Each structure stands twice: as structure tokens, then as C-alpha cells.
Amino acid sequence: MKYCEECIPINGIRQYFLHCPAPGADTVLLYLHGGPGFSAAYRAYLLDPPLSSCSLVFYDQRGSGKTLLKNKSAVPTFSLLLEDLHCTIRYLKEKYATDKILLLGHSWGSVLGSEYVLRYPDVVSAYIGMGQVVNMKKGEAATLEELQRRMQEKRSKPVHKRRPSLLLQYRYGMYPSIFSSIKSVWKSPVFSCRDLPSLVRAIFVNKELDRFLWEYDAEKSTVYSVPVYYILGKEDWQVPSILAARFFEVIQAPKKNLFWIPDAGHSTDIDNPKAFWSAIEEINRQIFS
């Protein structure tokens, strides 16, 4: 994967960017990572972007990754992240000399991305939700229900808890291996031992955003002024894709389409990169052709 890194001033602090340019492309796919507080740039190499019509750009949000390393006292708030994103999009339009920006929000990033396009409907060309958050409390209930169903199939003792444990989810194929995730980060060409402190510190500096995430309810706003696309993993039970699919049915937007990705969970793009890129290419075609 060909890439370049930079740290530039954005909204008063120096923020980290990872660029995967596509020669001759006039569209930029801006990736908003999840967490809050977990950089997607560390695992970008697993996507191995093909020769496509989109340049792929990651940035570490305030309170995350290499941006956190350079700004240890810059505690994120949701309003600040919206401002950062607004400045970031303006910067990318200038850098790539284009107005064609596809905004992709993954997991926590889907909260940031959804709220951004609702507030600024004329800035990006389309919004793409992946691992789309609708309502974390309802999602947790749906995950517990599915866990109970799988346990009953195996004739296991039912869970008498309000919250599904990660260990049980992993045991019944609903949660990825934490060790595999750690290994993939450790092998990243943009990760080093110097990045370790930010992984720990992010847990503490993003507490306000964690509260925001758990109180968030996407169902309060169903009318979008930009095209909306969802890319959902068939096996996503971390943020249940069945809830996002139901919500997608009631969304009103100038254009919309939902792409189901087989053999993929919450890390939808990494679990099935070929199908992910196929969906991105189709979205790009639908919007700009």
C-alpha cells in the first residue's frame, strides 16, 4: 500500500493524517474512525486499496492515536470534533483540488459523521455509515437476544444478565479475537512502541465522548439532505447491523442504498476488503456518473 503521513495544524492543534492517494482520482474518501479514541490508521494497511477512483484519507481525531501523542492536554468534546472535521474537509478540498468528498463514519465515527451531515448538508457529496450506530442501548439488547438464541441452539445454560459479556460473545462467534486485533495493530507500518501510551491514555480522555455515545439516538433525525449509504457486515453484533438496516428503511435522502457485506462483522472493511471496495466503487458511480 502506497501511503504518506503528515501532521498539520487543524483547529488549533496539530493533527495526524494518513493519505493513500489514488493517481488521477478526483474523489476523496474520508474515513472517520471508531472508539471513541481508536485510530483506524493503524490497520489501514489491511485494506490494501486497489487502483480506484477514490483517494483514501484517515486522520486521528482529537484524543486519539498520534494526534493525542502530540496534544496530550487537548481533551475532546463532541462540538470540538465537529469543528475539527469541518476544518479537515476544507483542508482536503484544497489539498486534492476537489469538492468530491465521501464521508465514511465507522462505529463511533458514524455518530460523528451522521451528525456532521445533518448540521452541514452542503459540504460533502455523500455520507457512508459502516458499523452504523443507531442506539447503543437497543443494540446491546439485540446482542443479548442473539446470544441467548445461540446458546439455546447449543443447549447451553441461558444468561441471566442485562448485559452480554464479551467472553460469551467471543465464545459464540459474535465478537472478534482481541489478540488478532492487537496483532494486526502491532504489525502496522505506521505503529511503533511510541504509540502505546496513546492507546491507554485515550481510554481516559474520551470519557465525555463515551457518555455521548451511550446517550445517542439516531432515530431522532431521519431526514438527510445528502445521499446516504450504509455498508453493513452480515455478522456485526458489536453494533448490531439489524438495527441499522431497520433504521435505514425510514431514512429520507436524495439517494440511498444499503450494501450487505458477507463474511464480515464490525470491522466490515477489513473482514472483507474486496466486497467493501466493490461497494465504494458502486457508491462513487451512483453519485458522480
Residue 66 within a domain: yes
For the stretch 17-38, pLDDT in tens is: 999 999 889 999 999 999 999 9
For the stretch 154-207, pLDDT in tens is: 776 666 566 667 777 777 676 777 778 889 999 999 999 999 999 999 999 999
Residue 209 within a domain: yes
Give the total number of structural domains in the chain: 2
**Can you tell me the distance from the alpha carbon of 66 to that of 39, in angstroms, rounded to the nearest whole number?**
8
**Can you tell me the distance from the alpha carbon of 93 to that of 179, in angstroms, rounded to the nearest whole number?**
38
Residue 156 within a domain: yes
Fill in the amino acid letter for 146.
E
Domain check: are 165 and 252 in the same one? no
Domain check: are 158 and 107 in the same one? no
pLDDT of residue 154: 78
Domain check: are 113 and 159 in the same one? no
Provide CB contacts within 8 A for 5, sequence distance 6+. Answer: 16, 17, 18, 19, 190
Domain check: are 20 and 53 in the same one? yes
Greatest mean pLDDT among 42-56, 61-75, 173-187: 61-75
- Looking at beta carbons, which pairs linking 119-123 to residues 24 or more positions away fall under 8 Å? 119/82, 120/86, 121/224, 121/225, 121/226, 122/225, 123/86, 123/89
Domain check: are 128 and 142 in the same one? no
164-176 burial, b if ≥16 CB within 10 A, otherwise e? beeebbeebebbb
Decide which of 146, 175, 204 is a domain's last residue: 175
**Can you tell me the distance from the alpha carbon of 130 to that of 107, in angstroms, rounded to the nearest whole number?**
7
Q: How far apart are the first and last CA of the chain?
A: 27
Domain check: are 204 and 261 in the same one? yes
Domain check: are 16 and 73 in the same one? yes
pLDDT of residue 164: 67
Confidence of residue 77 (pLDDT cuts 50, 70, 90): very high
**Can you tell me the distance from the alpha carbon of 55 to that of 49, in angstroms, rounded to the nearest whole number?**
9
Compute the radius of gyration of the chain from its Cα atoms: 18
Domain check: are 111 and 41 in the same one? yes
Residue 180 within a domain: no
Domain check: are 23 and 149 in the same one? no
Domain of 209 in residue numbering reads as: 4-135+193-288
CATH number at residue 19: 3.40.50.1820
Domain check: are 148 and 130 in the same one? no
For the stretch 233-288, pLDDT in tens is: 999 999 999 999 999 999 999 999 999 999 999 999 999 999 999 999 999 999 99
Decide which of 175, 202, 235 is a domain's last residue: 175
Asked whether 52 and 24 are in contact (CB, 8 A), the reply is no
Residue with cell 444468561: 159
